Amino acid sequence: MHFSRTLFFLVFLPITVLGEGSLGDALVKADAQDAAHDTRGAIKSLEEANHAFPEQTEVLVRLSKQHSDLIQDLSSKSEKEKTARRAVDCAERAVKLQPKHALAQLSLAICYGKLADIAGNKEKVECSKRIKEHVVESIKLNPADDFAWHVLGRWNFGIANINGVLKALCEVAYGGLPVASNEDAAKFLQKASDLAPQRIMHRQYLAHVLMAQGKIDKARAEWKSILELPSSDKPDDLAKAEARESLKKYASRR
């Protein structure tokens, strides 16, 4: 299950800095580095904070994000896997410290998604189960988080449309994949869009699901709405380019 750097950036940027003094200063510094996409700098700052203030949830959640962001900048599969496991470890420690921390639960779900991109088939199945477990828990803790609903929608879409050969292999070898559907994917992405109607990414992936369902008119409505919204970053511009191409391609199809 692929989760983009953009999603992680949007999810974690709003974290409120808790506390005063040196820890608060360290988190402010790391957040500024994150906003500037200085991933390695943010990791260094957060590792220093983690050394000075061990086992702080706010530090560990941020570390999980930065390690997860770093994956796409690495070239070797072994380095990618090692970094993905670091991200999962940080998020797991955050959840262990504060099981009722909604963002820590969501962080762990996303980190398992990053690991699933790299892992072998057996571990992919286990990761898929963990993704759903932790994103559902995150939603229980904070049902107003549009990003959590987005992740749950993307998870359903990914599992529902997995390669048929791999799906059959998983059924035989690993006891099958969790239940998922395009219907639920559309429902959850619509929920995300309802909670944050200005967020282009929700509409973009909803359009993908609607196309998979053969609902071209509804997908066109989402593409049109994307073009009416202001862009906030480069991925929004790319989503608009995709929307224009899709509207052109499916201009007369039903």
Residue 155 carries which DSSP code?
H
Range of 54's domain? 5-141
pLDDT bucket at 17, cuts 50 / 70 / 90: very low
CATH number of the domain within which 52 lies: 1.25.40.10
Residue 171, domain member (yes or no): no
Q: Is residue 190 part of a domain?
A: no
221 domain residue, yes or no? no
Q: How far is CA 136 from CA 58, 132, 143, 174, 208, in A?
A: 21, 6, 9, 23, 22
pLDDT digits (tens, 9 = 90+) for 184-221: 999 999 999 999 999 999 999 999 999 999 999 999 99
Other beta carbons less than 10 A from residue 237's beta carbon: 12
Assess if residue 250 is contained within a domain.
no
Does residue 198 lie in a domain region?
A: no
Given a contact cutoff of 8 angstroms between Cβ atoms, the answer to whether 156 and 182 are in contact is yes
- Give me the percent of the chain exceeding a pLDDT of 70: 90
In a domain? residue 237 = no
Please state, in angstroms and rounded to a whole number, the distance separating the CA atoms of residues 9 and 206: 20
Residue 219 lies in a domain: no
Domain count, the chain: 1
The pLDDT tens digits of the residues spanning 21-64 come to 589 999 999 999 999 989 999 999 999 999 999 999 999 999 99
Q: Does residue 199 sit within a domain? A: no
- In whole angstroms, give the CA distance from residue 157 to residue 186: 8
Q: What are phi and psi of 196, to 5 degrees?
A: -140, 75
pLDDT at 138 over 80: yes
Tokens of 19: 């506390």
Tokens of 107: 């962080």
219-250 pLDDT per residue, tens:
999 999 999 999 988 899 999 999 999 999 99
Pairwise pLDDT comparison (167 vs 240), residue with the higher score = 240
